[in-house]
Structure 1
């Protein structure tokens, strides 16, 4: 059986994820970087230092503005070591725009993001990191 190594057509992927830090692979610069502050990631964009205060329960609809500006079809909200749901207002900020919102722990969010990005989906990961 012949195997072909496919190089993905997206710039960013997760290599490791936890509640306090995440390792991102930057395929354009051919290196990895460790992030320890909340951030937003799409297959082609990295928004570092996403200015949010607290965990998922403290999120406001305004906190999602940088994520929604990227016009994803689906937002994966990584909430740290464990899954924590945001307020109904935050969930509604996505749903009223026809954007799906999935909430999961960071490790699950990273795996899901990588899978959806590899399928060519318009996905954004909003990852909360508590230091």
Structure 2
């Protein structure tokens, strides 16, 4: 039986994560970040869940994904819908998961060619 490795062509992939860091395309990140299905990974100036504001989700809106996977950190926490109202009004889906589930789900959707964006909260970190 022949096995063939499925690789995303030109897309981003999360290869590893733990509570305080995420590896995207082999590069380690120790602060919150936005991982679009393709293009540059962006720093997301979000130090903690309690610091979430509409501006954080407006930064996501500018990247025009069809779906956002919000990784709320080590545990599952749901942001208030008023914070991501702009995404709802633009008919962009938003799903909230803990960091580990968000990383796994992002990889599956991105490998299917979906225009997905992972918005990953990494708390207590210092720099990329």
Q: Report the TM-score range of the alignment, normalised by the length of the smaller protein.
A: 0.7 to 0.9
Taking a change above 3 Å as real, the CA distance of residues 42 and 81 of structure 1, as seen in their structure-2 partners, is same
Contact 2:30 2:122 in 1 (8 A): yes
Computed over aligned residues only, the root mean square deviation of the Cα atoms, in angstroms, reads 1.5
Tell me the TM-score normalised to structure 1 length.
Answer: 0.86
**Partner residue, 1:63:** 56
User: Cα offset for 1:130?
Assistant: 0.5
Contact 1:79 1:103 in 2 (8 A): yes
**Partner residue, 1:11:** 11
**Partner residue, 1:43:** 37
Aligned length: 124
Tell me the TM-score normalised to structure 2 length.
Answer: 0.87
Q: Return the alpha-carbon distance in structure 1 between the equivalents of residues 42 and 62 of structure 2.
A: 15
Structure 1: 5+ residue runs without aligned partners? Answer: 26-31
User: Cα offset for 1:42?
Assistant: 1.1
Q: Return the alpha-carbon distance in structure 2 between the equivalents of residues 87 and 58 of structure 1.
A: 12
Runs of 4+ in 1 over 3 A off after TM superposition: none
Q: Match for 2:105 among 107, 112, 117? A: 112
User: Cα offset for 1:53?
Assistant: 4.0
**What are the Cα deviations for residues 72-92 of structure 1, in whole angstroms up to 9, with x where unaligned?**
000000011111111121242
User: Cα offset for 1:107?
Assistant: 0.5
> With CA pairs under 8 Å and 6+ residues apart, which has the higher RCO, 1 or 2?
2
Taking a change above 3 Å as real, the CA distance of residues 85 and 79 of structure 1, as seen in their structure-2 partners, is same
Contact 2:69 2:106 in 1 (8 A): yes
